[in-house]
Structure formats: C-alpha cells, structure tokens
Amino acid sequence: EPVKINDFLNTVLLPYQELAVAEDKTFIIDLGEEQQLSFDKKRIHQLMIILLDNALKYTAQGERITVFSTVKNNEWSIKISDTGIGITDEKKTAVFERFYRGEESRNRKTGGYGIGLAIAKWIVDEHQGKIELTDTIPKGTTVILRFPVK
Ligand code: ATP
C-alpha cells in the first residue's frame, strides 16, 4: 500500500541525524514535496541503513552528510552525499562486482569489501531501481538512488 515518502524518510533519518550531531557531524535533510508511493518499506529501510551507516562511518568529525529526496519525471531519487574520505573509481565498481563473484570470494578470508553495498544493489534491483556511486565535490562520496514511480 502507498507510503508517504517524507514521513517514511524522516522516521529513518532522524535517529541518524541525532547520531551524527552527537558525533559532531552536520546532517542535513532536504526533502521535496510529500508524495505517496508504493514500495517495500522494510527493504528500503534496510537499504537506507546500509548507506547511512557507511556515510557516518567514512565521514569524520566536523564533516557533513546531506540527504536529498525528490520525485520528478516519474522517478523518485534519493541522494546521500557525504564529505568524508571518498571512494576510488576502482573501488566504486568493485563493491558491486563482489556480489556476482559469488561463493568463492565470499569464503575468502582476505579483507574483502564487506557485503553492505552488494545487498544494497540487490534491494535496488528488486525495485527496478538504479544505484550509482559518485564523488562529492570537492571531496567525499555521493550515492544516488533512482526508483521508477508506478
Ligand atoms: P567494511 O568492513 O569493508 O567497511 P562494509 O560493510 O562497510 O564493510 P560496504 O557497505 O559494502 O562494506 O562498503 C564497501 C566499501 O565501500 C567500504 O569498505 C568502503 O571502503 C567503501 N565505502 C562505502 N561507502 C562509503 C562512503 N560513504 N565513503 C567512503 N567509502 C565508502
């Protein structure tokens, strides 16, 4: 059933904002007009947790995390932008590729990239969406999510 996206996002984001502020990081929430969309609340919540955990983890004191959400042209886009340590181009693809290597790499003991973003990609795919990693200017990481609006 349809979900009010801003209500939903606020519920997800406010605890992270509190956490960020406690860690002396700026956390900006920038939501567009309220809309009702149909999606799997539990899964999208899970997805946001993965991305927000990373944003906080790789962003030092005094830095900034911004979450934008907007619906336009039949697309819901969510952008999680941080001014943290950033992510190299090589790693940008690797973090998603891991998933497709399957068993072999998952069993390997060498310090992998973790499974968070592979799960994130899976959830996004399940919703016919797109996930993209880009750089924040002048520094940091931005994750862009796009979902078709039915
Ligand atoms: P790990 O213990 O390796 O950090 P993880 O569960 O965080 O595991 P993922 O969520 O899949 O793993 O992230 C994969 C890798 O991508 C991370 O190890 C980190 O190097 C990089 N990464 C992810 N998000 C960010 C971010 N916001 N800023 C910088 N690097 C990031």
State how far the Cα of 134 lies from the Cα of 126, in Å rounded to an integer.
22
pLDDT, tens only, 102-113: 455 555 555 455
Instruction: Name the phi and psi angles at 44, rounded to 5.
Output: -65, -30
Looking at ligand 1, which atom is closest to the CA of residue 50?
10
94 CB-near residues (< 8 Å, 6+ apart): 113
State how far the Cα of 121 lies from the Cα of 132, in Å rounded to an integer.
9
Looking at ligand 1, which atom is closest to the CA of residue 98?
11
Provide ipTM, 2 decimals. Answer: 0.93
pLDDT of 150: 76
* Amino acid symbol at 148: P
Q: With bands split at pLDDT 50, 70 and 90, how would you rate the model's confidence at 115? A: confident
Q: What is the mean pLDDT of the chain?
A: 91
* Amino acid symbol at 137: I
- Quick check: pTM over 0.95? no
114: left (phi over 0), alpha (psi -120 to 50) or beta: left
Instruction: Name the phi and psi angles at 86, rounded to 5.
Output: 80, 175
Q: Which stretch of DSSP H or E encloses residue 51?
A: helix 41-57
Which residue puts its alpha carbon closest to atom 25 of ligand 1?
Answer: 54
pLDDT, tens only, 45-88: 999 999 999 999 999 999 999 999 999 999 999 999 999 999 99
State how far the Cα of 71 lies from the Cα of 96, in Å rounded to an integer.
25
- Residues near ligand 1 (Cβ within 6 A): 50, 54-55, 58, 82, 84-87, 91, 95, 113-117, 141
pLDDT of 14: 98
pLDDT of 8: 98
- For a mutational test of ligand 1's pocket, the pick from 54, 143, 144, i.e. the residue with the most ligand atoms closer than 8 A to its C-beta, is 54
Distance 115 CA to ligand 1 centre (A): 9
Rg (CA), the chain: 15
